[in-house]
Amino acid sequence: MMGRMDEHRETVTPFAPQADPAALADLRARLHATRWPDAPEGAAWSLGTDLEYLRELVAYWADGFDWPAQEKSLARLPRFRTTVGGLGIHFVHVRAAAPSRRAVPLVLCHGWPDSFWRYTKVVDLLTNPGAYGGDPDDAFDVVVPDMPGYGYSDIPAGAPLDSRDVAGLWAELMSRLGYATYGTAGGDIGSHVSRYLALDHPDRVVGVHRMDGGLPVYSGDPADLTEEERAWIRDAQSWGGEEGAYGAMHRTKPQTAAFGLTDSPVGLAAWIVEKLRAWSDCGGDIESVYSKDEILTNVTLYWLTGTIGSSMRMYHANAALDPAQRTRYVETPSGFSIFQGDIVRPPRAWLERTANMTYMSEPERGGHFAPFEQPERYAEELRAFFRPLRG
């Protein structure tokens, strides 16, 4: 099997969290006691989260949503905790169903506003493709860690970590799990983590798959860019002006927003649900892509772990990265699946300018959370990219 080293099992412990009933009772009480804002008649989603929709969702959260059942569903995935870089890290780890020397170890990197939740639908598809009509030789050993300050991983006590810091932790984690070489894939912040894994550990990363090209950073002469690249930069700037207020808050004053979002479950839901709807390929109907249970599982993970503030602070850390880091060319074979329903979609010329692109696809369905929205297609994208890179 590709990239296997000796394991150090004594440092890795199984993890199966169960919420304190008192925490669930407190959540329910807070939901029932919500002080709702007003909203202009007919505003719907035009000014942010729709009041009518959120009232409906919260009523279900308070009196219909079964968190223990969702915990049980998540527990079908083997989950563990270990200490890396002085921080307790939670992760999913599932080996290929049929061990093979061609199985690629793969670390999947999530973004915001999510956690290991982003990949819960694709783990089985990637580790056991033969059970879904695929080629067993396309199997992966899959590792899905929660970044520090997200999900069930520890919150850094001091300065928040940036994407490059997290990449260093994941390199150590993969060594801990016994993998000398591996692939990586990610989207959103996870796209940057994957990129830094390839940049800083090129002797270990056999390939990096990303769902975006990041926001454009270019200090050269615009005349040297293609028209498609210039148009993309303009579009990204326009998107930032219209949709980027959340990011400005995260980068500059995340702690201010954290007070309200940590204290109010409805405020937390409003902050997250609006992004799930806006960034997904749902045509404005969020429940055409996610069930209420799926939405609330993601939101409840944030609530019970108290990680909304720490997750936002990572934007502040990333904003402080040396600009030179953001323009490093990725020599490692790089694949891109740019889903049609995603935001700020880069052109081929930009991807070729910034990375050793060996694969590009533009799936017709799926958005920012494609592993959850279109799990079968996402799994096939990873299989197609990594197939020539297998041992």
Strand partners, 337: 361
Is residue 53 part of the annotated active site? The answer reads no
CA atoms within 13 Å, Cβ hemisphere of 49: 22
Strands 87-94 and 79-84: antiparallel
What is the C-alpha to C-alpha distance for residues 205 and 184, in angstroms, rounded to an integer? Answer: 7
Task: Out of 152, 315, 359, 378, pick the active-site residue.
Answer: 315
Is residue 315 part of the annotated active site? The answer reads yes
What is the C-alpha to C-alpha distance for residues 323 and 311, in angstroms, rounded to an integer? Answer: 22
The beta strand positions in 116-212, using DSSP E, are 140-145, 182-186, 205-210
Let me know: does 179 contact 105? Beta carbons within 8 Å.
Answer: yes
What is the C-alpha to C-alpha distance for residues 112 and 150, in angstroms, rounded to an integer? Answer: 9
H or E element in which residue 87 lies: strand 87-94
What string of DSSP letters covers 269-328? HHHHHHHHHHHSSSTT-GGGTS-HHHHHHHHHHHHHHT-HHHHHHHHHHHHTS-HHHHT-
Task: Give the pair of three-digit tokens for residue 153.
Answer: 């991983």
Let me know: does 338 contact 346? Beta carbons within 8 Å.
Answer: yes
Task: Out of 162, 188, 212, 281, pick the active-site residue.
Answer: 188
Task: Give the pair of three-digit tokens for residue 98.
Answer: 């049929």
What is the C-alpha to C-alpha distance for residues 374 and 367, in angstroms, rounded to an integer? Answer: 8
Give the rounded distance of the alpha carbon of 231 from its chain centre.
27
Q: Rounded to the nearest 5 degrees, what angle is found at the Cα of 156, between the Cα atoms of 111 and 330?
A: 45
What is the C-alpha to C-alpha distance for residues 143 and 286, in angstroms, rounded to an integer? Answer: 28
Strand order, beta sheet including 104-109: 13-14, 79-84, 87-94, 140-145, 104-109, 182-186, 205-210, 330-337, 355-361
> Which has the closest alpha carbon to 24: 35, 32, 14?
32
Is residue 368 part of the annotated active site? The answer reads yes
Let me know: does 315 contact 257? Beta carbons within 8 Å.
Answer: no
- Which residues are designated catalytic? 188, 315, 368
